[in-house]
Amino acid sequence: MQMLSHIPLWVPVLFIGLVVLGFLQVRDRHVSLWRVAILPVAMMVYSLYGVISSFGFSAVTIGLWLFGIAIAFGINRTFQYPRHVIYDPDKKVYEIKGSFIPMLLVMLIFWTKFLVSFGKGVQWDMVNTVVFMGVVSLCLGVFSGIFFAGGWRLLVLREPNTVPV
């Protein structure tokens, strides 16, 4: 319990904000392209920040993070997330069915970053191994990459005569 007292106040505040943001994605909604782009971009920045702030800027960690994004795009070619989306070109809005997938991805990114920071704080030896850094970087790339691939899919939906990736 003593260890938990060292967690900065902004961490639970961020967690609560991310939970609220995740729950907003559960309901059906109409959103503009600008609003559709915010979450994927924010999660990409947050996960890249997680990699760099935890492990520094290195070819291995950034390379595996980028590889994770590429894996996410490959996965999304099969699963086509998000599904059941309609774009109204007259109103320039998307009609998106609610899903728990964004909530899951937000929580995976948050908890991965949190556990790495916690591990560094309590000086877990494994946190500084190349394998650990690589796995975490790859995971953060996949998690945020799924968001980005979904945002890319929505962008492509806007274009006439295109098939979503």
| The model's pTM | 0.85
Give residue 123's domain range: 10-158
Confidence class of residue 2 from pLDDT cuts 50, 70 and 90? low
Higher pLDDT residue, 24 or 70? 70
Q: Is residue 134, in this structure, part of any structural domain at all? A: yes
Q: Is residue 71, in this structure, part of any structural domain at all? A: yes
User: What pLDDT, on a 0 to 100 scale, did the predictor assign at position 163?
Assistant: 45
Do the beta carbons of residue 65 and residue 47 sit within 8 Å? yes
State the total domains in the chain.
1
> What gap in Å lies between CA 21 and CA 94, rounded to an integer?
18
User: What pLDDT, on a 0 to 100 scale, did the predictor assign at position 17?
Assistant: 92
User: What pLDDT, on a 0 to 100 scale, did the predictor assign at position 9?
Assistant: 83
Q: Is residue 73, in this structure, part of any structural domain at all? A: yes
Confidence class of residue 16 from pLDDT cuts 50, 70 and 90? very high
Q: Is residue 19, in this structure, part of any structural domain at all? A: yes
Q: Is residue 117, in this structure, part of any structural domain at all? A: yes
Q: Out of 2-6, 108-112, 131-135, 144-148, pick the least confident.
A: 2-6
Q: Is residue 164, in this structure, part of any structural domain at all? A: no
Q: Is residue 18, in this structure, part of any structural domain at all? A: yes
Q: Is residue 165, in this structure, part of any structural domain at all? A: no
Query: Average pLDDT, whole number, for the chain?
Result: 88
Mean pLDDT of 73-84: 89
Confidence class of residue 159 from pLDDT cuts 50, 70 and 90? low
User: What pLDDT, on a 0 to 100 scale, did the predictor assign at position 165?
Assistant: 41
- Taking the CA of residue 89 as centre, how many other CA atoms within 13 Å lie in the half-sphere pointing to its CB? 5
Contacts with 122 (C-beta within 8 Å, 6 or more apart), sequence order: 3
